Structure 1
Amino acid sequence: MQKFKTRYLKIICVLFIATAACSCGKYLELKPQDGIIREDFWKTKEQLQAAVDGCYASLLGGSDRPIPEYMFLWGELRADLLTPSTGVTSEETDIMNVNILATNSLTNWRAIYRTINYCNTVIDFGPGVLKVDQTLTQQSLDASLAEVKALRALLYFYLVRSFRDVPLVVKSTSSDDQLQQLTKTSGAEVLQQIIKDLSEAETAAPLTYNSNADDKGRITRYTVYAIQADVYLWMEKYPEALAACNKIINSQKFGLVSGNTGWFTNVFVNGNSSEGIFEIQFDRTKLNSFYPMFRTRPRFIASSIITDPDNGIYMADVLDPTKKDIRGDGAAARFGDGLIWKYIGVDDNTMRVAEESFAHWIVYRYADILLMKAEALALTGKGPEALDLVNTIRQRAKALTQTARVVDPTDAEAVCDYILEERAREFAYEGKRWYDVLRHAKRNNYKRQDILTEMVSRTVSGSLQQSAIAKFKDANSHYFPIYTYELQTDKNLVQNPFYK
């Protein structure tokens, strides 16, 4: 594991040299000190692998936020599981109160496009290595291209769910004179490119790298299936989502970690468990940014929806306090003070020290596949099977009977509501809540708009509540504005409709 992580973290500087990825700056004219420039790169299979590794390493951030921090903020701030705390910023509060302006730097997508450009560079220049390095096989090249195509697809999926219409860039930019004024592409077209990338990646992505750390920290064919399932649910293509989930389930390569002992430690503290499908890997040499966010001067704590023993999503057993949902107190959060625990806890009582803030960011795990399959089943008339999967998740978690629902399996909406509740319990603070809520609300031409308005009514502060509800009735408000700087530097970009 350590060998993989060391390579994963150190290689980013090599990728920068390989791409000379630009963002307007005279520094691009300088030759790197070690003498490597693009003309001397893309000559060996080792350099190709270094460039692929660099795409992963760029997820961990450099001078800006790590991409998992964006994944967390974009996936949680507009939902209902967070409450602002002492360290919260005004920009974060504005998003939580549905008061988003184009000057809000949290809507800056530059870090995402930087990694997309790294992926594009591998796709553009990687095939050339085959002509000069006779030891590189076509199969190995195809596997490398599959990794970066799937990673590019994943990042575009985050952009589509967060902004809807975004520039679609599939060619690399290697110098300032290649900068283009880009227009937006419709979200529907971007989704089609995502599907295309994933379809191409599916046939070539490795099933295994013969290393557990690589199998969890790099994209395998199972990661591709997981992204496909997620995308198809978003697109309301339920048979396709079901098929993608079944490819993972039928492989028998993954399973739920037992809820009897060690669930929290195995899944969230140690990471790379049998449940993990794709995890962005932090370690002592590259810490995540969650310890200062949740502990040093907490920007957020858990909302009462998490911690309330009577009306929260986990609840409490007043007759036997030893009975509890293992995903709640001491896992998602520490209920006594509301600290978000998933990234700062060692067990349900012990807190990490700052130097140990290297919990992985889990993009997909097996429980997600089961609940995505349940959703697809419910929406294809297979309610009983969907409820069986929900019960499988609940049994592992020792969920309390107080949170169980008696649901008519033929009522697809009721089954989906139950699944949405269960996803909140299972994936609290894993960056999925807003996207889950929006996916359910927008289904069938916003048939379930009520999910959004009810959420706002219980989360946004009183004086802003009616304004927030009114805004959420406009579907354009469900997506971020384009950051002001991007509009100023690219005159072909047009602001998203709600923010004009």
Structure 2
Amino acid sequence: MLLNRLKYIIVLFALTAFLGSCKKWMDLKPNDGIIREDFWKTKEDVEASVVGCYASLLGSPSGGDTHAPAELFFLWGELRADMLASFLGTRDNEFEIMNVNTTAANTITNWRPIYRTINYCNTVLRFAPAVRGLDNTFTQEQLDAWMAEVKTLRALMYFYLVRSFKEVPLKLDPTTSDDEIVMLPKSTEEVVIAQILKDLSEAESKAVLTYGNNITDKGRITRYAVNAIQADVLLWSSNYPAAIEAANKVIDSRRFGLVQGSLGGWFNSLYVVGNSVESIFELQFNVQKLNPFYSMFAVGNKRFIAAQKVMDAVYTTDASSDTTRDIRGDGASVQASTSTIWKYVGRNYDDLRALDESYANWIFYRYADVLLIKAEALAQRANGNDLQQALDIVYNVRTRARALPATDEAPPVNDAHGVSMFILNERSREFMYEGKRWYDLLRNARRSGNLSILKDLVASTVPANMVVSAQAKMDDPYSHFFPIYEYEIQTNKQLIQNPFYR
């Protein structure tokens, strides 16, 4: 089994023999000559490079990232939202974003780690096909499957970029030597989304259904991961019928299900053990490659704690019973007694992991996400009994989670807006601290120009003396996206700064 957790790390560091760092534009390039003369000769070379694309998401081979990709996925999806509170270790650049004062000097806006993974994918796409002519044991089916994996990973990386920056350079060719470095301008959101959907469409029929073992099925791209990403991108793009169709491909496969269980069973299955029946695609960490979250949430000078509203309003409590609780809340997403963000640092309901146990996986997609994507698309399409179907899905998720009656908004079945807000709020309970909250809020705000969602958000998160200014910023749609990091502006003269930050 090539892709187990140990192999991820072996390949990650082994790739430094082939891949050197380049200080020029958003690139980690192979050293000139090595990639063509000494590599790309066998199918094993190709598969090692495919695995390297996944491994790059764990962090830089040289350890030089200010923020590893998994950390960026969290920060980009949560800092601008409403479920975090600052604590003793909160950094200045994190305060900036939380207080709607982001500048182009903020290192959190440095997209270089994401483009490094994109360049790895582009490199495989360029060089892998020629290996078929050098290795007669390398089948077209194997090549197609590996190409599908890297196209999907590239699409996922661009989906993070376009939701975070709106307009980004669309780089589809690898940088493998200094001669190939090209300074690209930004592409529009529409062009980037079109390329994402093209990559996913081409990958869908070629991606494997299973690798034959559970860890690999969860840790590498399968056809179901392709469909889950498609559904999410199509929902973002307001193509609701197509989003429903993509979601149904995952649902109708009957390969996934909602994890049932006791108060601790759901948490243990999804976040302690990982790779559960609910998982579709998750980034694999282990004892040899720890995740970046322990210092963020577990140590005395932790960087973040849960916002007060998480237990007071999102999950709520039952005053009459200590054991009647939403299984996603206290002891899962958060430890209520300390406001500790628990999802990545808890060993069980009560006990904290040790530092060397900080290897909870980062979940990109799981079955509940696909269900609620479908519910949201149904609520927006709102044809026939769509709203009833959407509510049925939400209540299915809530029943599994033992959600409390206080969070049941019970919207009328003919109230499309009410159903949509119920779904948005249910997503906050289901995906707490999984890097989805800001994108959920922004998607709903953009859909109908309902900026009150974002204005209410900042009113509840920034200091009182900054509320008026922060709300005024929300009137400019470009304020909803990050600035381009100043280093990229300085080194690529083709780039034009997001107009809100000029």
Shift of 1:6: 1.5
Map of 1:242-253 to 2, 5 A cutoff? 242-253=244-255
Tell me if structure 2 keeps the 8 A contact 1:20–1:174. no
Q: How does 1:154-169 map to 2 (within 5 A)?
A: 154-169=156-171
- Structure 2 residue 56 is the aligned partner of structure 1 residue 53: no
Which of residues 135, 139, 142 in structure 1 aligns to 2:141? Answer: 139
Give deviations 1:112-133, integer Å, cap 9, x for gaps: 0000000000000010111110
For 1:326-337, what aligned pairs fall within 5 Å after superposition?
326-337=327-338
The answer as to 2:349 corresponding to 1:348 is yes
**AA matched with 1:121:** T
Say whether 1:263 aligns with 2:299.
no
Q: Deviations over 1:179-204 (max 9, x none)?
A: 11110100110000000000000010
Confirm whether residue 292 of structure 1 aligns to residue 295 of structure 2: yes
Give the number of equivalent residue pairs.
491
Conserved? CA contact 1:147–1:205, under 8 Å: yes
Q: State which of 94, 99, 102 in structure 2 corresponds to 1:100.
A: 102
- 1:216–1:278: 8 Å Cα contact kept in structure 2? yes
Which segments of 5 or more consecutive residues in structure 2 lack a partner in the other structure? none
- Which of residues 376, 383, 397 is equivalent to 2:387? 383
State the distance in 1 between where 2:347 and 2:2 align.
20
Provide, for residues 135-160 of structure 1, a one-character-per-residue CA deviation record: whole Å limited to 9, x for no partner: 00001000000000000000000000
CA contact (8 A) 2:31 2:176 kept: no
Deviation at 1:166, TM superposition (A): 0.2
The answer to whether 1:422 aligns with 2:426 is yes
Question: Which amino acid is the alignment partner of residue 274 of structure 1?
Answer: V
TM-score normalized by structure 2?
0.95
Distance in 2 of aligned mates of 1:41 and 1:81: 47
The answer to whether the 8 A contact 1:60-1:68 is kept is: yes
The correspondence for 1:439, drawn from 430, 440, 443, is 443
Corresponding residue number in structure 1 for 2:111:
109
Question: 2:319 maps to which residue?
Answer: 318
The verdict on how the C-alpha distance between 1:226 and 1:29 changes in structure 2, with shifts beyond 3 A counting, is closer
| Corresponding residue SS for 1:362 | strand
Distance 1:18 1:209 in 2: 27
Write the distance in 1 (CA, Å) between the matches of 2:45 and 2:56: 16
Q: Does the CA-based 8 Å contact 1:21-1:117 persist in structure 2?
A: no
Q: Secondary structure at the match of 1:277?
A: strand
What is the DSSP-based 3-state SS (H/G/I as helix, E as strand, rest coil) of the residue aligned with 1:437? helix
Report the counterpart of residue 480 of structure 2 in structure 1.
478
* One of 152, 176, 179 as aligned partner of 1:177: 179
Structure 1, unaligned runs of 5 or more: none
TM-score (norm 1): 0.96
Is contact 2:372–2:427 with CA below 8 Å preserved after alignment?
A: yes
Larger deviation: 110-119 or 448-457? 448-457
CA distance in structure 2 between the partners assigned to 1:237 and 1:429 by the alignment? 26
Quick one: structure 1 residues 29 and 55, their matched pair in 2 at CA, closer, same or farther if it must change by over 3 Å? closer
> What is the Cα deviation at residue 30 of structure 1?
7.1
Report the CA distance shift for 1:98/1:272 in structure 2 as closer, same or farther (over 3 A). Answer: same
| Distance in 1 (alpha carbons) for counterparts of 2:317 and 2:106 | 39
Note the alpha carbon deviations across 1:297-341, whole angstroms, 9 max, x for none.
Answer: 210000011032xxx111111122221001111111111111100
Aligned-partner SS, 1:473: coil
1:361 aligns with 2:362: yes
Distance 2:30 2:215 in 1: 38
Q: Kindly provide the amino acid, as one letter, of the partner of residue 10 in structure 1.
A: I
SS of corresponding position for 1:72? helix
Residue 71 of structure 1: aligned partner = 73
Q: 1:156 to 1:349 in 2, by over 3 A?
A: same
Indicate conservation of the 8 Å contact 2:19/2:30, yes or no.
no
Moved more, 234-243 or 402-411: 402-411
What is the Cα deviation at residue 31 of structure 1? 8.5
Q: Secondary structure at the match of 1:383?
A: helix
**What is the distance in 2 between the residues matched to 1:162 and 1:477?**
11
Runs of 4+ in 1 over 2 A off after TM superposition: 12-25, 27-32
Tell me how far apart the structure 2 counterparts of residues 18 and 190 of structure 1 sit (CA, whole Å). 29
Q: Which residue of 2 aligns with 1:201?
A: 203
Q: CA deviation at 1:37?
A: 4.8
* CA–CA distance in structure 2, aligned partners of residues 345 and 276 of structure 1: 19
Identity %: 53
Hey, what does 1:8 align to over in structure 2? 8
Q: For residues 29-48 of structure 1, what are the structure 2 equivalents within 5 Å?
A: 37-48=35-46
**Counterpart for residue 407 of structure 1:** 411
For structure 1, which segment, 238-247 or 176-185, has the greater mean C-alpha deviation from structure 2 after superposition?
176-185
Question: Do the aligned partners of 1:14 and 1:51 also contact (CA within 8 Å) in 2?
Answer: no
8 Å CA contact retained: 2:78, 2:437: yes
Q: Is the 8 A contact 1:284 1:358 kept in 2?
A: yes
Contact 1:66–1:288, Cα closer than 8 Å, also in 2 = no
Identify which range, 75-84 or 449-458, moves more after superposition.
449-458
Alignment of 1:9-24 (within 5 A): 9-18=9-18, 20=20, 22-24=22-24
| Amino acid across the alignment from 1:96 | M
Q: What displacement does 1:24 show? A: 3.8
Aligned to 2:222: 220
Contact persistence 2:18–2:30 (CA under 8 A):
no
What displacement does 1:177 show? 2.2
Q: Structure 1 residues 130, 175: CA separation in 2 closer, same or farther (over 3 Å shift)? A: same
Cα deviation per residue 1:339-381 (whole Å; 9 max; x = unaligned)?
1000000111111000000000000000101111110111121
- Whether 1:120 and 2:122 are equivalent positions in the alignment is yes
Counterpart position of 1:240: 242
Q: Which moved more, 1:424-433 or 1:399-408?
A: 399-408
SS in 1 for 2:305: strand
2:187 counterpart letter in structure 1: T
In the alignment, residue 408 of structure 1 is paired with which amino acid? P
Distance 1:16 1:207 in 2: 31
Instruction: Quote how far apart the aligned CAs of 1:13 are.
Output: 3.8
Q: 1:274 aligns with which of 273, 277, 280?
A: 277
Greater Cα offset, 208-217 or 174-183: 174-183
Distance 2:468 2:338 in 1: 29
Q: Match of 2:282, SS?
A: strand
